[in-house]
Amino acid sequence: MTMRFVSQLSTALEYELADGRPPVLRAPALPDLAAAEGWLTEVRDDVRKDLYVHGHILIRGLPVGSAADFGRVRDLLLAARTSYREQATPRSDFGDDVFSSTDFPAAQTIRLHNENSYTLDFPGVLIFCSIDAATTGGATTVGDVRQVLAELPPELVARFREHGWLLNRNYRNGIGLPWSTAFGTDQRADVEAYCDRNLVASQWLPDNQLATSQRRSAIIQHPVTRDEVWFNHVVFWSKWSLAPEVRTALVEMYGDDGLPFDTRLGDGTSLTEEESATIDQAYQRATRRESWQPGDVMMVDNLLSAHGRESFTGTRKTLVAMGEPIRLEDCSPTVPAAAGRFA
């Protein structure tokens, strides 16, 4: 059964609502960015209230044509900025805390996930902006993780509620981002200090490679709405999400415990392929999409909504900025954060 969590709105703003699409708020005719800033200032408080209801809102019709324009819009809509920590995917930096959305190949789909769900604090709000829309595909998909949690089998939810989830990473030479990029330093001592402060187990491997492990709560509460949400990367980095031939090759090369990314229950128990598929199917049922148009801006409450990306053809330039950090400890985690253990 598919549910839509839309309660009574607290504002008079009018949204285009349709199944399978994010809510769309159309801006009036705006001659330039200064006019857009004036209109956004007028509606900002109402949009933020409605974001708690919808979890994500696409604003259409803004005259935003560059990273600098987007930075000005970001500063109107976000009260504070957040940085990108424990980096896991490649991004281009446009300066002023504006980045590209993940720089994965166009043919690759990015599964729904909550940004930085594995850190001790994370952005509360994400803002995306389309500068150049793809020829086909390329939508930034979104999904309500209240719905995802509600649709998962109770017995599976109970196990994650009790144990949380475990993220194991192996920073391999030539595969994925190097640890120096992920942690923003080439000094081992700095990495070790960061891991100690942030409850991440770390272990140096031969050839200057690194393994890390951390346990986090898979289910938390939004600190404002108090909605309980499914908040993790369990399927995103599951070995079962890899193409079978890639998974086989990596396991043969590094072993089941040496994959670049692997997720498990917090007690170290591996998920079955069927369990991973069950969670993935819940994400798929919750997925909403809207093809980008240049100038579109989408706000995403990072705790209420997961986000991803469709594959695409043509040229696509989508920017992202993050803000309003929230501490995990303020979200009623069902298990305490802890350094993980190596299987």
Q: What value does the mean pLDDT take over residues 309-333?
A: 96
Q: Report the SS3 class of residue 109.
A: coil
Residue 103 confidence (pLDDT)? 73
Beta carbons of 71 and 96 less than 8 angstroms apart: yes
| Residue 5 pLDDT > 60 | no
Beta carbons of 287 and 112 less than 8 angstroms apart: yes
199 alpha-carbon distance from chain centroid: 20
Give CA–CA dist 284/114, Å, rounded.
Answer: 15
Which CATH superfamily groups domain 24-147+291-324?
Answer: Clavaminate synthase-like (3.60.130.10)
Each residue of 188-203: pLDDT tens digit?
999 999 999 999 999 9
The mean of the pLDDT values for the chain is 93
Each residue of 78-116: pLDDT tens digit?
999 987 777 777 678 888 889 888 778 899 999 999 999
Q: What value does the mean pLDDT take over residues 158-168?
A: 98
Q: Quote the percentage of the chain above a pLDDT of 70.
A: 96
Q: What value does the mean pLDDT take over residues 314-322?
A: 95
Q: Which residue in this structure is represented by tokens 């200057």?
A: 208
| Residue 342 pLDDT > 70 | no
* 192 CB neighbour count, 10 Å cutoff: 15
Q: What value does the mean pLDDT take over residues 134-158?
A: 97
| Residue 303 pLDDT > 50 | yes
Q: What value does the mean pLDDT take over residues 165-179?
A: 92
Beta carbons of 140 and 309 less than 8 angstroms apart: yes
Q: Which residue in this structure is represented by tokens 């590209």?
A: 100
Q: What value does the mean pLDDT take over residues 116-140?
A: 96
What does the DSSP assignment read for 130-184?
EEE--SEE----EEEHHHHHHHS-HHHHHHHHHH-EEEEEEEBTTBSS-HHHHHT
Give CA–CA dist 210/41, Å, rounded.
Answer: 46
Residue 9 confidence (pLDDT)? 53
Each residue of 249-298: pLDDT tens digit?
999 999 988 999 999 999 999 999 999 999 999 999 999 999 999 999 99
Residue 3 confidence (pLDDT)? 39
Each residue of 97-106: pLDDT tens digit?
898 887 788 9
| Residue 123 pLDDT > 80 | yes
Residue 68 confidence (pLDDT)? 96
Q: What value does the mean pLDDT take over residues 30-41?
A: 97
Burial per residue of 254-290, b for 16 or more beta-carbon CB atoms within 10 angstroms, e otherwise: eeeebbbbbbbbbeeebbeeebbebbbebbeebbbbb
Residue 1 confidence (pLDDT)? 35
| Residue 4 pLDDT > 90 | no
Q: What value does the mean pLDDT take over residues 149-178?
A: 95
The residue extents of the domains of the chain are 24-147+291-324, 149-280+333-339
Q: What value does the mean pLDDT take over residues 158-186?
A: 94
Residue 155 confidence (pLDDT)? 98
In CATH, the number for domain 149-280+333-339 is: 3.60.130.10
Beta carbons of 315 and 132 less than 8 angstroms apart: yes
Residue 115 confidence (pLDDT)? 95
Cβ within 8 Å of residue 125, ≥6 positions away: 51, 77, 78, 299, 300, 301, 302, 322, 323, 324
Each residue of 217-263: pLDDT tens digit?
999 999 999 999 999 999 999 999 999 999 999 999 999 889 999 99
* 342 CB neighbour count, 10 Å cutoff: 13
Beta carbons of 15 and 25 less than 8 angstroms apart: yes
